[in-house]
Amino acid sequence: MTENAPTVDAAAQSSHLRIDTTRPHTARIWNYWLGGRDNYEVDRATGDRIRELHPGIGAYARADRLFLGRAVKHLVTEAGIRQFLDIGTGLPTADNTHEVAQRLAPDSRTVYVDNDPLVLAHARALLTSTPEGRTDYLDEDLRNVDALLEHAAKTLDFDAPVALMLLGVIIFIGDDEDPYGLVRRLVDRLPAGSRLVLSHTITSPAMPDVDEAVTFWNEHGTPKLTQRTPKDVARFFDGLELLEPGVVSCSRWRPEDIAGGAEPDEVAMFGGVARKP
């Protein structure tokens, strides 16, 4: 546990007052699709309905999680990154960012950021660390860039490269909120050599059931989602050095060896990794 843990515990107690168990919530549904237990009947019912509309939803939830693991492994072993700013953390499951990083480099530091009261209530599961490294958690909105980075600087050294992890979170930023400018503001505050890791659900004529599922969610759940095309997702990396194979289905970003060499199935979650020059 970090020295900040008591503050999180106090906030976690009060957060129960903000948790609405009568409406489905995306973090809990995502947890359900990943096989977790931190969800309610309303989340499971909605998750099952979305899976009826888009049967591949569970596969792309898992693909996004595996993409996180492969990206962190690359950043630690090939890029020498030891600092991670993971915004839009979601509920803890297996192989969280700090766990993957510290298995490979025990001195790695991770700051998780989320403004979901349920995630805050489970922050204890995230606030574990090797003795050599450190892990911390911020109850903050990604839109509050200045406050977020000010608090993160208590754990991370912003004079050294940082990996900015934005996995499945920008979908919650509407077009009227300037999502590209928001990501740029975050990246601009990072030193050269930092990395951006971003994934985003896509809309595509080849996957019409995804749009139907998102429409259903926006009618019944919270927070609302904004779909973007693969080309739109790639725009988040403008001005950065995009690593091969570019912005692709998360299942196809440097997949582990597969028997027979078959290419993994494409999922409606695209992602990429880029370096800040």
- Looking at the structure of the chain, the number of domains it has is 1
246 within some domain: yes
In this prediction the pTM is 0.85
36 within some domain: yes
121 within some domain: yes
3 within some domain: no
**What range does the domain containing 141 cover?**
8-276
The CATH number that applies at residue 28 is 3.40.50.150
In this prediction, residue 61 carries a pLDDT of: 77
Q: pLDDT tens digits, the chain, 277 residues: what are they?
A: 333 333 444 444 444 445 677 777 777 887 787 777 778 888 898 888 888 887 777 777 788 889 999 999 999 999 999 999 999 987 777 789 999 999 999 999 999 999 887 787 777 777 889 999 999 999 999 999 999 999 999 999 999 999 999 999 999 999 999 999 999 999 999 999 999 999 999 998 877 788 888 888 888 777 888 999 999 999 999 999 999 999 999 999 999 755 556 788 899 899 999 999 9
SS3 of the chain: the string is CCCCHHHHHHHHHHHHHHCCCCCCEHHHHHHHHCCCCCCCHHHHHHHHHHHHHCCCHHHHHHHHHHHHHHHHHHHHHCCCCCEEEEECCCCCCCCCHHHHHHHHCCCCEEEEEECCHHHHHCHHHHCCCCCCCEEEEEECCCCCHHHHHHHHCCCCCCCCCCEEEEECCHHHCCHHHCHHHHHHHHHHCCCCCCEEEEEEEECCCCCHHHHHHHHHHHHHCECCCCCECHHHHHHHHCCCEECCCCCEEHHHCCCCCCHHHCCCCCCCEEEEEEECC
In this prediction, residue 122 carries a pLDDT of: 78
**21-65 pLDDT tens trace:** 777 777 788 778 777 777 888 889 888 888 888 777 777 778 888
**139-165 pLDDT tens trace:** 999 999 999 999 999 999 999 999 999
In this prediction, residue 66 carries a pLDDT of: 92
2 within some domain: no
